[in-house]
Structure 1
């Protein structure tokens, strides 16, 4: 029986060549955004970076914004995949540490991704729903705190951790010699102490 040329939603399946070209365009776009920012990443630059025409870019993506969205999605999916795998491999008590180390480690290893994330946040012009960021970490902290007694408010602790991760990652972008592994260890130690301290 021949394979269907459409997806379950009725869309045409991409050929291997088309998939490879889309992946190339996303990679080129990530590099351009990291170097020039969203505003400096034009359709012409994307086409030049991929060594194809603008019309060829538009064959694969309907607009420059569509390529930028896919590049941002790719970066976020990559980060979430790394962090999720690390967290799921750890026991509940160790999951906050796994979250911190994998988040910082991934962004250290992928500085272009870091810049794309920063550009997306800046380009949005306003703050996204911050709960989307702190709530998953707060859930990990709640589970890790079980059996240790009452600790600090997990929402506040999750927000502080998020700020710490951001600062560590930004420092690495400004100073490539900055030891983010050691910084992650310090942040983990602070979190562990917070989780074991009982409220008065």
Structure 2
């Protein structure tokens, strides 16, 4: 979690911002989570919420630093989106009134790129959920999340499957935006690039191989683990 939400976000931002500064324009969207903003705690997913909080403050600060250079840095903080990650919740009927489809969220998210402030909640359903959470006492939210997250944790521990391409990414492509794909596996990146190009020939795609298991030391890059 720290490699993805802390180190990778920081390194990728450091890689793309100089080019945007040189051009005098650019837009950055970091996808976060309402778990770091709208609710007092997120038990059993502590590292997830804590690292998303880093992304939020990181994005806010960069938004202020780079606004005068024509660069818009935005942190989007969605609630639940109907993906495989929350499939067990929706199947049980717990999130059906609150979760939005990946396509609906992607359309709303794309519409806000380059607009608004540093923090953005693009989807109307999520905005309403945020308002409801704001009026519920923190103690009640803590009680509820402790129990629901403990239940979901028991389900998720047995799941090893993950999505290879997010609905937000497909939404960006559908609107004709070019992509930079970042990952550890060059073969996986090439496969995803070929799939996107087969559907959207006009989209330009760059791939960056970024090994999150390597750390920079005084002796050069070394494995994070043996």
TM-score (norm 1): 0.31
Q: Greater helix percent: which structure?
A: 1
Larger Rg belongs to: 1
- What TM-score, normalized to structure 2? 0.28
